[in-house]
Chain A
Amino acid sequence: MRVRPAFVFISLIVLLLCFSVWHIGAGAIDIAPLDVFKALHSSDSEHNFIVNNFRLPRLLISGLVGAALAISGLLIQGVIRNPLASPDVLGVTSGASLAVITLAVFWPNAPISYIPPAALLGGFGATALLLFLARHLLQRPAAFALVGIALAATFGAAIDYLLTVNPLEINTAMLWLTGSVWGRNWNHLPLIAPWLAVLMPLAMLLAYRLDLLALGDDTATSLGTGVKKLRLLCIVVAISLASAAVSVCGSIGFVGLVSPHLVRSLLGHRHLLLIPATALTGAILVISADLFARILMPPIELPAGILTAFIGAPYFIFLLCRYKNW
């Protein structure tokens, strides 16, 4: 199935706008779509306060987190040529989560600005560990992914241990862990927006070389690409994006796995198109997940991560079943 790129982008943008308006409008107080626009524009609208102080920042953060995770997944899949890879499957996000929880347990009063470096440290630590443990499995995507899953499970167990032994504000931690954008406000935006603003253009600069990498290391090298440097740079960008996403709202699973697959099936192989398209798709996924998480069983608000897992986990199983090169 191959579709014209312009059509794909217009559809994605329209979809994103629709879900955004719905996302802002839905909640304890329903706001009609037209009133949403009014509230955004004029300060004297009755909904101005609720929209601008609660729902808009939450929408933006959902979208940015989705975009960051999706680009991260695309880069990781491209660079280790593994269709089963994504930051959550490989344990990068749980490594980052573990680092943040550790920080929260041992230094409960740490300022919010300490969270991103902790998440980055955890993310890079987890990746280094994975690359070390699975250094002989790089050519065997499924086995490589399994090592990642085992690592993720180990980090998960460590998180559970920390939370059980230190039942601090367990609720907040739990909410954060399952990947929720609940209660996120403008203060959280600087944790994610600058990362995306810098790293997404950087990823676009690497796009053509990623296309070349798909021809194999030998061909890419003989066409003049510095394969090792490119691979390292892409992994650093991917892990930074995933860790930044985790530092805002915990690990929202499967967005990084599903979005790139979806977009590849529509647009093919060109990373210059894939990167923005997968970012839009990731944003739509997390925004819609957060939307349905709120409106499915009010007044209970489910974490968005639960809904993305509902879509993503079956898809992952489907990929595993279809995958033949063990």
Chain B
Amino acid sequence: MNIEQTAISIDTLDVGYATKTIISNLNLSIKKGKITALIGPNGCGKSTLLKSISRLLKPSAGSIHLGADIDVLTCPSKEIARALALLPQMTQSPEGITVKTLVAFGRAPYLNQFGMLKEEDHRQIELAMCRAGVSELANDYIDQLSGGQLQRVWIALILAQDTDILLLDEPTTYLDICHQYELLNLLVELNLAGKTIVIVMHDLNQACRYADELVIMQKGEIIDIGTPHNVFTEKMLRDVFNFEAIVINDPEASTPMSVARAQKVVKSRAA
């Protein structure tokens, strides 16, 4: 693949916890300017992969590069933080701080020891809050926000980090359905503005609708990779997810979507 179009390239990666290897000998290229969704059953290693890319886990072998020249395993942490931002699955917000204060932490990779904000930082913070749609909340305390608002504030934080790549670990998990779609639409907007987005998702139909590329994982290996149209099949659902379903065309977005097959028990009850 052309290196110019690659945002993240992963080469013969081994990762695991103390004694257990989760991922072994994994190769993957993630395309620049696309939305890539990592999907797979629980424990397939998709979060582990995301954590390795964002250096929360140290691989035992292999390499991870951002673009052509940033080596994630050897580059200074601050430099990587200017190229790649992560929204973890569980976020932690200190009590009693305002939205703006929280978003300002996104500027950390650009600041000195004491975290003094310069004019450019204030500009980036305003811009990030505007893009995430939380400008009106700037002076509100974060303990007063709803779950959906808080998640958008966290998006603003990683936007303030001003990186080309955004990694998101199941960002919709704790949101109600309306805020899930609101957040996903926001990600599409950011993607259209040029961000490369890698997202771990549980909802397969949302993944098909929003992702340009699906990376399908099972037991620490990549089973398939490609556009939803090419890789999201009934056979794949059965083999990887142990899920009996038919795949139909999403009437709204014309992307594939799965519908679970009805069990006999359900049928007989209906009759």
Contacts and interface: CB of A to CB of B under 8 A. Distances in A.
On whether the two chains bind one another, the answer is yes
A211 B116 CA distance: 13
A219 B153 CA distance: 14
A67 to B, nearest CB: 21
Contacts of B97: 268-269
B109 A223 contact: yes
A222 B91 contact: no
Q: DSSP class of B's interface residues: helix, strand, loop or mixed?
A: loop
Contacts of B86: 218-219, 222
A223 B93 CA distance: 15
Contacts of A218: 54, 56, 86, 88, 90
Contact of B105 (A212, A221, A272): A212
B105 A207 contact: no
Interface residues of B, number: 31
Contacts of B88: 216, 218-219, 222
A52 interface: no
A185 B86 CA distance: 54
Interface in A271-323: 272
Interface residues of A, number: 21
B106 interface: yes
A226 B105 CA distance: 15
Contacts of A215: 91-94, 105
Nearest to A217: B56
A242 B235 CA distance: 63
Contact of B108 (A2, A214, A223, A268): A223
Nearest to B80: A224
B78 interface: yes
Interface of A: 2, 205, 207-208, 211-212, 214-219, 221-226, 268-269, 272
Given A214-B92, A223-B106, 12 more contacts: A205-B113, A212-B105, A215-B93, A215-B94, A219-B92, A221-B56, A222-B88, A223-B109, A224-B76, A224-B79, A269-B96, A269-B97
